[in-house]
Chains A and B, each alone.
Chain A
Amino acid sequence: MTSASHAPAISLHALQRCRTTLEDFTASYLPLYGVLKNDFWRYFDILAYVSASLYELDELNEQSITAGRGGVEADFASLTGGCAPLQLQLVVCCF
């Protein structure tokens, strides 16, 4: 299968992280549209896929901040229009 709908995209960890978000989202937002709690399962697959995918991306971003690898320095340089000081790279790598 080559479609995005069949592409592996989320981990168990991302699913676990999205659980509390979905709990809060369904408790807060579904009643605004008169959707009953049990009807959540009609939309579960798409909502869980979207939320977990975003956590997967968030994880990728956080890893880059804590590890100081990847695009942190390059992105910093592109945003500031110059080079990230060496000190930044060293300190970020410490976390």
Chain B
Amino acid sequence: MLLLTRLAARMDVLKQALREQSLLTARIEQELDCGLRYWQLERLLCTRLAVNGSVDVDDVMSCHRDKSFDYRTLHCVLQALLSRDTQHAQPAEPAELDALSRFLQLDERLVDIGDDCTDYEDDCCANSFNMLRCFIGLYGVDQGPLRLIELISSLEAEHAAALNALPERYRRVFWARHIEAASQPRSEKWVLPSRLFAIADEPAFRAQFASG
């Protein structure tokens, strides 16, 4: 059976279980479908990057946007759980929740890119999806990291605007969590490998380091 069919079949079991619990919403189904698309693009991009092959910028950006589908799914499931929990105050208005979801998606994308910068060499060895790896594949070892910095700057501007648009109670919770998470070493800084550490020839790099 094709992998795609196996993944879809296993995903159907998850959907059905949520349906049986009266928790499956249209939004959750959309996020789970994002997951299937993410895995498909991840396979395509990693297969190409493994042989220094070319990748498409639209595929890379779609894969990046879809990657945090797991958090978005959990968030939607949490909302569904809370809405049926009579012991809990009901969630806010839909417009407020949409604004919150938009902000969180930007936050998750920035966290993912931060992780990708930290895990760059490991991800090259493991042939895993990684935005820095993809940008170096797209734009080369000189321009790739710079283009990623441009994307980070753009996302940070959107993130700041989306945060400012949120009700004060959400901003307060975000900053409290941000301060807590920032107590981790290096969590406040962007760490990109220098030009010297950007990998121009992945197959040669893996041949030298992957088995070590």
Contact = CB atoms under 8 A, between A and B. Distances in A.
Q: Do A and B come from one complex?
A: yes
Interface of A: 3-5, 7, 9, 21, 25, 27-35, 39, 42-43, 46-47, 49-51, 53-54, 56-58, 60-62, 64-66, 70-72, 74-76, 78-80, 84, 87-88, 91-92, 94-95
Contacts of B7: 57, 60-61
B81 interface: yes
Given A9-B17, A75-B44, A70 B11 contact: no
Contacts, number: 149
28 contacts: A7-B13, A9-B13, A9-B17, A21-B70, A21-B74, A25-B74, A25-B75, A29-B104, A31-B173, A31-B177, A50-B14, A50-B18, A53-B14, A54-B73, A56-B10, A57-B7, A57-B10, A57-B39, A58-B39, A60-B3, A60-B10, A61-B43, A65-B42, A66-B126, A75-B4, A87-B51, A88-B50, A95-B50
Interface string B41-63: 01110111011010000000000
A72 B48 CA distance: 11
Interface of B: 2-7, 10-11, 13-14, 16-21, 23, 35, 39-40, 42-44, 46-48, 50-51, 53, 70-71, 73-75, 77-78, 81-82, 85, 87-89, 91, 100, 104, 126-128, 170, 173, 176-177, 180, 203, 206, 210
